[in-house]
Every structure is written in C-alpha cells, then in structure tokens.
C-alpha cells in the first residue's frame, strides 16, 4: 500500500546575504538573534571585517583587486570585486528559492557589489528581495548620491525592494539615543522585515499562506511596503495592524494604491475571528482599491500569549501610488538635517519604545 512520505518535505531554501560592512553587521545580528529556516551569508572585500563576523558562511570577493583591504568607499571597486568573484557568489546562492540581499548603501562594497549579487540571483531564477539602508544626513552628500545610484542599479535586478533611511531613526527615536544604539535599531528593523516574511513562509498556519502566495506578491513587485506590528490589550488587532502599515522608519510608507497585499495574523489561543477580520479589514480599507489581490493568513502560536502580531507585505502600486512614492523619495533626498530631527517617538504610531526595549534584552 502506498503511504505518503510526510517527513521528507523540506520547505523553500531561503538565504540572507549581507553585502559589505553594513550588510554583514545586519546578517551577523540576525544570526545571533536566531531565525529558523534561514541560511546566512556575508560577502565583503575586507578580509579583517569578514573574519570578525559571527556568520556561518563568509565569502571574500575581490582579493586580487583589493588585497583584502576593502573597497575604500568606492562603489566601482565593490562592483569590480563582485565581478571578479562571480563564480563564488553563484556557488553560495545556488539552490536557493529565495534570497534576501541586505546592504548599507552609500559605501563601497555594499553599494557596488549588491546589484551584482542581485543580477546573479535573477539570472539563476531566484526570487530576490532587497532590504537596504540609506546613510544618515551627517554622512554627507557623496554617500547619499552613491546610495541613490546603488539603489537605482539594484532595482533593475531584484523583485522587491525595501528601503530604510537611517535618518528616520533620528526622527523617531529619543534625543539621547547613542549612535551605536541607532545603528542597532536599523539592524533590528532589517531583522523584523526578514523575520516577518520568513515566518509567513515557514510556519504552518490555521489559514495557511505558502511560498507560492509570497512569490505572487513579491515577484516583480517593485518597491515594497513591509511592516510588522505587535500589540496586546484592548483593540490589539487594530493597534497591531496600524503599527504594521504606519511604520515611519520605512521609506515610501504609504499602503494606498497597492495592487498586491499579503497579511498574516499571528496570535495565541485567545485570538478570535473577529480580531483577524478587523485587522485585515482595516488594511484592505487603507489601500483604497477594490481590485487588490489580497492574501490572508492566520497562525496560532501559544508563545504569543496575549500578544497579537500582524505582518504586511504590499507591492504593485498603481500610477498614483508610484508618483507619491517617488515624490517622497525626492523630498527625502533634498531634505536638510533640520529641526524635524527634534521630533520624538511620541509623534508617531510606531512603537519605538518596544523596539528599544528589545535591544536592551539582547
């Protein structure tokens, strides 16, 4: 008699690739914090920095070109280094179903090599997501221009891109937050972005979302809005949903106009159907479209206790939505370091205090 082999199924192979110093630091932090079902890779031209990272797989690129001393802040060197060792990059991502490429844009290796990694992944038919940061204003005009040029190149090859301007960390965080803690906050945002998508893919749900659903939303999705909100207490579902879609740390954070949306709600045994419906309904209403392709999932997790978590991925913006996104990008590029940076977490719905508390717990 034929019996199905229920224990042999393996989920999609997902890899998170950190390129350059910022990307490597982010991947190292993700690895230390732990995300199940993910393989971590760090790619860099700087041999010393690469050696210091606590990451399972490390790939040095451009050894002949840079002698292991880094790209010197020059994206062209970073690009040439990646091209020099294209075979190494191809080998390390081979067999992947999905690759996250994480980099701090504005420097040499991350800015120059990340688009090459993305191109290789695209040529191999791998679903590819970029999660990148932009420099603080105080890092100067040159790094900002490098970052914008790098992001433009990256967009040519990836399916979906999420951009986190480091400057937004200043606008939403307490005034006395140190620069070290600020960079840790950026790492935490990257961590939550990857964690949210990975858990949707790898955790079986009561109302299940699978890799095919995620692929439909992400593939050729362009700029993405991704959010992860968590809340407890009265109206926790609506509060978590608002946090997920109103996160001010993300660039282009307007869900209106999205033609593809994936929503996953995770809660403990006390999660009700009404709560799930309310959270999904709020998000659907905020898109202001009747033809949005909406994917909805529910996951029960006893460890959530009285907390409820909402993960949102939105892509495929209409012309109105895209024009708003690009106007926001233009404004972000031209805005000076001014009095707006004096705003605090109290001005925003995003729960920055919880994020800071999580940093202290690490």
Domains of the chain, by residue range, sit at 14-158
Percent of the chain with pLDDT over 70: 83
Can you tell me the mean pLDDT for 170-180? 74
Instruction: Say yes or no to pLDDT of 5 above 80.
Output: no
The C-alpha atoms of residue 349 and residue 171 are separated, in whole angstroms, by 13
4: left (phi over 0), alpha (psi -120 to 50) or beta: beta
For residues 252 and 223, the answer to whether their CB atoms sit within 8 Å is yes
User: pLDDT digits over 115-137, tens only?
Assistant: 999 999 999 999 999 999 999 88
Q: Is the pLDDT of residue 360 over 70?
A: no
Task: Specify binding-site residues.
Answer: 21-25, 108-110, 139, 143, 187
| pLDDT of 93 above 60 | yes
pTM over 0.85: no
The tokens describing 62, both together, are 């451009």
Question: Which CATH class name applies to 14-158?
Answer: alpha beta
> What is the rounded CA–CA span in Å between residue 194 and residue 98?
11
In the sheet that holds 225-231, the strands lie side by side as 225-231, 308-317, 258-267, 293-300
Does residue 315 sit in helix, strand or coil? strand
Neighbouring-strand partners of residue 298: 207, 265
Structure tokens at 90: 């191809």
- Annotated binding residues for GTP, written as ranges, equal 21-25, 108-110, 139, 143, 187
**pLDDT digit string, tens, across residues 186-220:** 777 777 777 888 888 878 889 999 899 999 999 98
Identify the band that residue 178 occupies on the pLDDT scale cut at 50, 70 and 90: confident
């Amino acid at each position: 008699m034929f019996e199905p082999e229920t224990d042999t199924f393996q989920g999609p192979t997902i890899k998170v690739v950190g390129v350059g110093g910022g990307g490597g630091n982010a991947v190292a932090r993700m690895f230390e914090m732990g995300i199940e079902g993910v393989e971590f890779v760090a790619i860099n031209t700087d041999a010393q920095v690469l050696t210091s990272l606590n990451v399972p797989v490390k790939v040095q690129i451009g050894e002949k070109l840079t002698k292991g001393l880094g790209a010197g802040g020059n994206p062209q060197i970073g690009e040439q280094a990646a091209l020099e060792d294209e075979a190494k990059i191809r080998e390390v991502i081979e067999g992947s179903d999905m690759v996250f490429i994480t980099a701090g844009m504005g420097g040499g290796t991350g800015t120059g090599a990340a688009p090459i990694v993305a191109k290789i992944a695209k040529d191999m038919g791998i679903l590819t997501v970029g999660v990148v940061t932009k420099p603080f204003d105080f890092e100067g005009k040159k790094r900002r221009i490098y970052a914008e040029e790098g992001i433009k190149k990256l967009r040519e090859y990836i399916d979906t891109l999420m951009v986190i301007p480091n400057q937004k960390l200043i606008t939403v965080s307490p005034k006395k937050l140190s620069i070290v803690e600020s960079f840790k906050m950026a790492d935490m945002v990257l961590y939550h972005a990857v964690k949210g998508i990975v858990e949707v893919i790898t955790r079986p749900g009561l109302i299940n979302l699978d890799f095919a659903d995620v692929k439909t939303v992400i593939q050729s999705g362009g700029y993405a809005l991704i959010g992860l909100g968590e809340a407890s207490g009265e109206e926790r579902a609506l509060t978590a949903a608002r946090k997920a879609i109103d996160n001010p740390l993300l660039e282009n954070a307007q869900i209106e106009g999205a033609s593809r949306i994936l929503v996953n709600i995770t809660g403990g045994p006390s999660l009700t159907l009404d709560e799930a419906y309310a959270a999904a309904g709020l998000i659907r209403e905020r898109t202001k479209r009747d033809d949005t392709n909406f994917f909805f999932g529910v996951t029960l997790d006893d460890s959530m206790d009285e907390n409820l978590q909402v993960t949102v991925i939105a892509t495929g913006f209409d012309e109105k939505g895209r024009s708003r996104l690009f106007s926001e990008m233009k404004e972000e590029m031209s805005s000076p370091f001014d009095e707006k940076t004096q705003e605090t977490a109290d001005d925003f719905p995003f729960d920055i205090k919880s994020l800071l508390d999580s940093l202290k717990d690490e």
